[in-house]
Amino acid sequence: MMDSIHSDDKAGRALVAGGAGFLGSHLCARLLRDGWEVICLDNFQTGRASNLATLASHPMLTVMRHDVVDPIPDLQVSRIYHLACPASPVHYQADPLRTLRTCVLGTIQMLELAERVGARLLQASTSEVYGDPLQHPQQEQYWGHVNPVGPRACYDEGKRCAETICTEYAHTEGVEVKIARIFNTYGPNMSPNDGRVVSNFIVQALAGQPLTVYGDGTQTRSFCYVDDLIDGLVRLMESPSAMTQPINLGNPAELSMLEIADLVRACTGAQVPIVFRDLPVDDPAHRCPDISLAQQYLDWTPKVPPREGIARTAEYFAQESQASPERESQAMAAFMQTKRGGRRQGRARVV
């Protein structure tokens, strides 16, 4: 019989697709702390076993190596968090067709699973659906300004299509769907080579290298610390069923690239210069969320200020720089050893 969430707030079983990724690993940790049994599904294309290393001893965690574009067995879960997709330009542009398949076919697979087992699904969408926005800050009612044939289109349009698919499954099949439009997020468990600005700056600063700024550095983003973002996702998932429209989740505190560079230098103590490079094609000039709906309906507002969040992230990368080069393979081997032995007392398992 399928697990369910009861009115007495007892947790059940949740599936986190993309659970070994940056956001997914933090979400797995949060759900486990909240008492959920968690199935982490990941193909480990960009997800890392080392992100889950601190959870390896948790008896309520199952790690399932699987690609979301392939048929998924009837996992008896009551909540599905669909976070599976490369999210940085370096990764999603490396194989655009695979990115599109993940966004479209993967979302269909997740929704069909949700329909079969009666689960509620949260779709991790993105601020990229707004493209290079003509509205500032961006409200959920804004339809966006996206180049459908540009180098970012595989992700931008893939996520826009995923929102449409979710909406139609809700309307025609009765699947309970939540859509989170996630703005720039940063924090521990980011990959050092994912090409995102915060991780780029910190890795360069710790190595004593110049910070690379693309364009003139006046373009802005709104950076949300990962703990705040995960809290928003959980609140959205558990919001009333009537809350079906997309919701922006991000930090409305807008910072320029140059301001982020200065914060990174201050937090790391690095005395390094800035070098300027050409701005990538279709890189948005501004990106900032209007979070009025999240504040009103989820009682959610980011709490971690940029200086504190960047300091925590810099500390994480400093520790990572001292880690063994074999750490990732060792972490995967540890999970696979558990797989051979099945579920053991006090151990996560892999299936």
Alpha-carbon distance of 24 to 41, in angstroms, equals 9
Q: How far is CA 30 from CA 3, 14, 279, 296, in A?
A: 19, 11, 36, 23
H runs (alpha helix) in the chain = 22-33, 89-92, 96-101, 107-117, 153-173, 197-206, 226-237, 257-268, 292-298, 306-320, 327-341
Q: How far is CA 237 from CA 27, 90, 230, 243, 248, in A?
A: 12, 29, 11, 10, 13
Cα dihedral 218/224/225/231 (nearest 10)? 180
6 φψ region: left (φ > 0), alpha (ψ -120 to 50), beta (else): beta
Catalytic residue among 81, 92, 155, 186: 155
Q: Which of 305, 247, 314, 229 is nearest to 26 (CA)?
A: 229
Question: What would the DSSP string read from start to end of 117-179?
Answer: HT-EEEEEEEGGGGBS-SSSSBPTT---B--TTSTTHHHHHHHHHHHHHHHHHHHHH---EEE
**Is 225 assigned a catalytic role?**
no
282 φψ region: left (φ > 0), alpha (ψ -120 to 50), beta (else): left
Residues identified as active-site: 155
